[in-house]
Amino acid sequence: MKSIRIALAQVNCTVGALAQNRSKILSQAVAAEKGGSDLVLFPELALCGYPPEDLVLKPHFIDAIEKELAILCEELPPELVCVVGMPRAGKARPQNAAAVIHQGKVIASYTKQQLPNYGVFDEQRIFEAGNRPLCLQMGEARLGLHICEDSWIHSEENLRHLADMELTALLNLSASPFHREKCSVRQAVLQKTSNTVKAPLVYCNLVGGQDELVFDGGSLVISPRGEILCQGARFKDDLVYVDLPCAPAKQGTEFANIVKLPPRERATKAPKLPPSTKHRSMDELEEVYEALTLGLRDYANKNGFQDILVAISGGIDSALVAAIAVDAVGADRVSGISLPTQYSSAGTRSDALQLAGNLGIKMPMVPIQHLFDAYTDLLEPQWPGRGPDVTEENLQARIRGTIVMALSNKFGSLVVATGNKSEMATGYATLYGDMCGGYALIKDVPKTMVFDLCRWSNIRQGSERIPQTLIDRPPSAELRADQKDSDSLPPYEILDGILSLYIEQDKGRDEIVAEGFDPHMVTRIIRLVDGNEYKRRQAPPGVKITPKAFGRDRRVPITNHFRPTPPSNPIPHD
């Protein structure tokens, strides 16, 4: 056996869809067999989907997976070695495992040793860790096994043991979620691991959307020198092949924890290796746009929504959401609705109509001024002598929220909320109003990036699909006369800089001020962020695209009296 052909099956699995996932695994295994593979590698927990969260704590869930595994073993090509990620029963808790399947049975199982417990991960809560490496011997090929974090957290003892095995390759089953700049970080870590074990690292990553998380694929084979030998597509299913040379171990060398398999005997010569696809690199905006598109598509499709509904105001946030929705599921499955009041300008009404026409979606315009007037007539006797304030502003948003949710009930549409991260961070959003919806697509996208994504979308489209007048207009909620976002918030270029330091980098007030920001403004923004946690807890899920998103990625108490050190001068009340 002079070389071994390995296929990396980058698949989009759905949590809990066991039979469907099994069917995908079988289909890719059959394709890998036809492609002449000796072994096919699948992502982490591919059989049950990732992350399964507390499902794995249910014994009947583990039992159901074992039944699907038994069926899969019978169906797979018998001579092909298949390495499939799945949870298996352990001593105290389930294990995050890789099942090695050959000739109709599981011949070995590897348990993940490094369980991540940071950010979006809490695997130590639900899994028990393994403590033994595993090596597969196929003729002269020696293949080590890792599951995701095993190659990220470097246990010197484990890696030294693998290096001593003189591996042909280290196989890694992964479910590594996307965020900005993740691809370059991931490649650097994998290259370091490959260099340490002195063998190519064959890395198979999950693809697809799962609630807030998007897995971007990009499976790859990387050499100890950092050379990418082949790479899978980003944000879609792929099957990638690599031929790796084998060399006999040094004479007299003995290894522990090795499972030996007979070298594959072929009746015919293996097919010629398909040419390695050179996938072009993506810049940051394209990556984010593709992640948002895939996240929305999978959330809608995997949860059974046939249609998407977006309240289109004529502003930039709803424009971006509507454009992504069309790219995700097609214009025939997207509807808009415009709900203007007397404060909605002629410009935003015109841009909303133009946007809908450009996207090819239906968008009735339903004025709600009479409803707003009816509410205020009803409520004004309850607060005699009190003039208009934010109450009336929020009332308009809540009328809109009631209407879009009624349409969702009537037609079964997925309402996609349009608030961005800058608004969600500072509470510049209305509970039960513009926060209504089943999915908050851009809740982790800063406002400055919203503008950039709209411009990028137009460039890719080669036309002003999103009207330029809409992009150029100063942002406004249009809930009172002549309102601008800048009346309540600092310029977004400044605000987003402060928010990034405070939320994503966990910098304190003084550290942020040291970056050159106004002390009074920093303190005010921090207070807004901390004081609006109660709103964010009630927001719909949305795609994570930054290193630290609100929700499962950043968890702080609602009742929280910790405050930044006040500046020497008192801050005027807002």
Residue 425 sits in a domain whose CATH number is 3.40.50.620
The model's pLDDT over 124-135, given as tens digits with 9 standing for 90+, comes to 899 999 988 889
In the predicted structure, residue 412 carries a pLDDT above the cut 90: yes
> Are residues 247 and 361 located together in one domain of the fold?
no
**What percent of the chain stands above pLDDT 70?**
93
In the predicted structure, residue 572 carries a pLDDT above the cut 60: no
Looking at residue 234, the DSSP 8-state letter turns out to be B
What is the per-residue pLDDT for 474? 84
> Are residues 316 and 293 located together in one domain of the fold?
yes
Q: Which residues pair with 440 in a beta bridge?
A: 417
| Two structure tokens written together for 376 | 């205020």
- Residues 539, 417: contact at Cβ < 8 Å? yes
**What percent of the chain stands above pLDDT 90?**
71
What is the per-residue pLDDT for 153? 65
This prediction's pTM: 0.92
Rounded mean pLDDT of the chain? Answer: 90
Mean pLDDT across 50-75: 95
Amino acid identity at 181: E
For residues 417-443, one letter each, b for 16 or more C-beta atoms within 10 angstroms of the residue's C-beta and e for the rest, the string is bbbbbbbbbbbbbbbebbbbbbbbbbb
Domains: count for the chain? 2
In the predicted structure, residue 244 carries a pLDDT above the cut 80: yes
Amino acid identity at 318: S
Q: Please write down the HEC assignment for all residues of 426-471.
A: HCCCCCCCCCCCCEECCCCCCHHHHHHHHHHHHHHHCCCCCCHHHH
Mean pLDDT across 339-354: 89
| φ, ψ for residue 107, nearest 5 deg | -95, -15
> Are residues 506 and 381 located together in one domain of the fold?
yes
Q: Is residue 551 part of a domain?
A: no
In the predicted structure, residue 563 carries a pLDDT above the cut 80: no
What is the per-residue pLDDT for 503? 94
d(CA 190, CA 194): 6
> Are residues 310 and 454 located together in one domain of the fold?
yes
What is the per-residue pLDDT for 555? 86
Q: Is residue 531 part of a domain?
A: yes
112 is catalytic: yes
What is the per-residue pLDDT for 272? 78
Among residues 24, 85, 82, which one has the least CA distance to residue 264? 82
> Are residues 149 and 177 located together in one domain of the fold?
yes
> Are residues 35 and 124 located together in one domain of the fold?
yes
> Are residues 85 and 169 located together in one domain of the fold?
yes
Owning domain of residue 366: 287-536
What is the per-residue pLDDT for 116? 85
Lowest pLDDT segment from 219-233, 239-253, 474-488:
474-488
Helix or strand holding residue 351 (H, E): helix 346-359
Q: Is residue 560 part of a domain?
A: no
What is the per-residue pLDDT for 419? 94
Catalytic residue among 148, 183, 230, 454: 148
Residue that wins the pLDDT comparison between 19 and 272:
19
In the predicted structure, residue 568 carries a pLDDT above the cut 50: no
Q: Which residues have a Cβ under 8 Å from the Cβ of 280 and sit 6 or more positions away? A: none
What is the per-residue pLDDT for 159? 73
In the predicted structure, residue 486 carries a pLDDT above the cut 80: no
Mean pLDDT across 27-55: 95
End position of a domain, from candidates 239, 272, 305: 272
Catalytic residue among 24, 73, 112, 204: 112
Q: Is residue 177 part of a domain?
A: yes
d(CA 216, CA 175): 9
Q: Is residue 184 part of a domain?
A: yes
Q: Which residues have a Cβ under 8 Å from the Cβ of 334 and sit 6 or more positions away? A: 307, 308, 309, 310, 322, 325, 326, 359, 361
In the predicted structure, residue 496 carries a pLDDT above the cut 50: yes
484 is catalytic: no
> Are residues 168 and 309 located together in one domain of the fold?
no
Amino acid identity at 526: I
CATH at residue 211: 3.60.110.10
For residues 250-285, one letter each, b for 16 or more C-beta atoms within 10 angstroms of the residue's C-beta and e for the rest, the string is eeeeeeeebbebeebeeeeeeeeeeeeeebeebeeb
Residue that wins the pLDDT comparison between 485 and 513:
513
What is the per-residue pLDDT for 433? 92
Q: Is residue 377 part of a domain?
A: yes
What is the per-residue pLDDT for 553? 86
End position of a domain, from candidates 240, 272, 304: 272
The model's pLDDT over 316-329, given as tens digits with 9 standing for 90+, comes to 999 999 999 999 99
The model's pLDDT over 29-42, given as tens digits with 9 standing for 90+, comes to 999 999 999 999 99
What is the per-residue pLDDT for 495? 95
In the predicted structure, residue 574 carries a pLDDT above the cut 60: no
> Are residues 17 and 159 located together in one domain of the fold?
yes
> Are residues 249 and 291 located together in one domain of the fold?
no
Catalytic residue among 13, 24, 33, 44: 44
What is the per-residue pLDDT for 408? 96
> Are residues 250 and 349 located together in one domain of the fold?
no
What is the per-residue pLDDT for 570? 46
In the predicted structure, residue 255 carries a pLDDT above the cut 90: no
Mean pLDDT across 484-504: 89
What is the per-residue pLDDT for 453? 97
Mean pLDDT across 266-287: 75
- Rg (C-alpha) for the chain, rounded Å, is 27
> Are residues 216 and 354 located together in one domain of the fold?
no
Q: Is residue 61 part of a domain?
A: yes
In the predicted structure, residue 477 carries a pLDDT above the cut 80: no
Mean pLDDT across 477-506: 85
Q: Is residue 282 part of a domain?
A: no
End position of a domain, from candidates 272, 302, 317: 272
Looking at residue 558, the DSSP 8-state letter turns out to be S
What is the per-residue pLDDT for 478? 66
Amino acid identity at 50: Y
What are the angstrom distances between the C-alpha of 166 and each of 5, 160, 221, 232, 528? 18, 10, 17, 26, 56
Crossing angle between the packed helical segments 59-75 and 18-34, to the nearest 10 degrees: 30
Confidence band of 256 (pLDDT split at 50, 70, 90): low
Mean pLDDT across 147-167: 77
What is the per-residue pLDDT for 282? 85
421 is catalytic: no
| Two structure tokens written together for 380 | 């004004």
